[in-house]
A and B are shown apart, each in its own frame.
Chain A
């Protein structure tokens, strides 16, 4: 299983085009959305705009990389028959899911770090050393949840359906979870739903750290629950695929 994890990471790193755009896209978006020297207060939040969007864009970029990368690649691998071939080895279902999450994490980490570097170097964000480390770790760990979701979608959908389904999850989660606009500026019913979305809990981790607190246990718990849910769904779909396809 370790060999598969290593191999998945190796080939992800070799895919230079995918790496480049996945890594460049989030900091670019951060610069565009937050603008330079933006110290505008965010309604109902203890942090200002550049802090808010640093975490939001780190999250958004990580989600882009892991969700899109995983779902489409897995759907493709199912079509070419590689997954079928892999199923004829002693590899357990969780091994495949683990390897996919690991390779996704390889892509998300540099994109997260680059957003933070942009925050510090260009946007003038100043945080304590422990906060930088904590924000990076929270953003990275949280991305595993969406990597698992990507695996599940890759197993759920085939061919042409993969991209629309991925996009729907991606935009829905990003918008309603408050990645593009702060939740407080969204309609009430969206906020009510958004509170329970993994994206909301995801950025809440980093925001708590930016405000000088420890991440809230509730957010971490919700994310963990989603991770278990998505990973189990992925493993279940893998087995179901074995039965019917």
Chain B
């Protein structure tokens, strides 16, 4: 399972691990390129650098998968909320304070014992920012976007998730402005847990569909 670590924003050293972000010339070029762009936009009075800071700070520290995990935990704990989430996810999620950019039109899709849901955007990188924050690199990269719709079991295996052969897989390609949140199945052995403890079992990947919920330790 991949932890969310939405609060772990002091750890920015890990950029040598993926093939999209080696210390190559292209990455260095981009540093200069974006700096030049910001410089000229500031000089023209078009950009407030403090607004850029505020946007970055919002998505690095305030909006992340903990939002979605709270939605899932509430759906597991409160059948009335779960029904509302199924019928009108945008309103149900807004009732917890999660609204706005890339969360304007939400749909919640519920895993069942027979069906597993998986979310992708084959055309770009549509993702429910309001509940999951910014998408991880793999979600935006060609390997995932190309294969999720044709070989989801192969993709899930790369996340260490092997579903039973008979489990139906439903892949949702986010081609319009609806943003999807997977509600994983509530794990066994969680009867006595409160919403906070339940939320801790819900990873970002479980809400995309590349994982299932964790079990209590």
**Pairing of A with B:** no
Q: Which residues of A contact B (CB under 8 A)?
A: none
B residues near A (Cβ < 8 Å) are: none
